[in-house]
Amino acid sequence: MAERIDGKAFAATLRAKVGEHAAQFAAQAGRPAGLAVVLVGEDPASQVYVRSKHKATVEAGMASFEHRLPADTDEATLLALVAQLNADPAVDGILVQLPLPAGIDEQAVIAAISPDKDVDGFHVINAGRLSVGQPGFVPCTPLGCLMLLKDRLGDLSGLEAVVIGRSNIVGKPMAQLLTDANATVTIAHSRTRDLPAVVRRADIVVAAVGRPEMITGDWIKPGACVIDVGINRVSAPDSDKSRLVGDVEFDSAEKVAGSITPVPGGVGPMTIAVLLRNALVAAYRNQGLDVPAGL
């Protein structure tokens, strides 16, 4: 039976560490680190995410700047706000909550954010920095997954890893992080031939495909570490209620894997914790201060 990886507990430890260093930063810089979050429209899920990010930012001792714009905001207005935040010395990190309403080019908005304030790690310059091994910002979810893996497995050198999914937000940066950690990495996707056989040879499985419970226990190599990035809401059997499940069928995978993240309570809590970490790293860099070791 697999050991459950407690992402919630790990995230709480990381957030506490961020809070300690945020206090040290404020003492050195004479101001708190600042994170600006921009929400356009009234998407219910996005509103929940923005509220939780605001609460976590304040709890970490950082300044939270919320900008809520109506759904009919045009692209030029949003780009003007991004330019204003780029120029604001009190703002160290900028996050524009996705998805954006129809009619606004998400890539144009991401490209307008200063790469040094792009704490989501979505800017093409930060993607390039990751690719060539330069300091930059890495998307929060894959960086959180890497932290969980290193905490569980230690040195990842020589391990075979399969990342299922090739998105710019999770799959591709996850594969790059694992490569940089000296794992042997395969990116699998919907066109992969005999996907179960590919997954079955992996010591590390990162599932980020967005299909509920697609990966079953018979796909998993005995003793493998399984990181389930998926968050899918499905109807509960014989009930009008819904439940959250991952991309991995937990019950069958748990019987085979050596360790596994549950959904919820696994990868999810890490995303906001790493966002706070990225924002604080941005603050140290923007202020010309050395980033504390271990942050």
Catalytic residues: 53, 97, 120
In sequence order, what are the beta bridge partners of 213?
none
- Structure token digits, residue 191: 């066109």
> 42: exposed, middle or buried (C-beta count within 10 Å: 0-12, 13-18, 19+)?
exposed
How many angstroms separate the CA atoms of 170 and 250, rounded?
20
Amino acid at 252: S
All residues at 6 or more sequence positions from 258 whose CB lies less than 8 Å from its CB, including other chains: 2, 3, 222, 223, 224, 225
| CA angle at 37 for the pair 105 and 25, rounded to the nearest 5° | 135
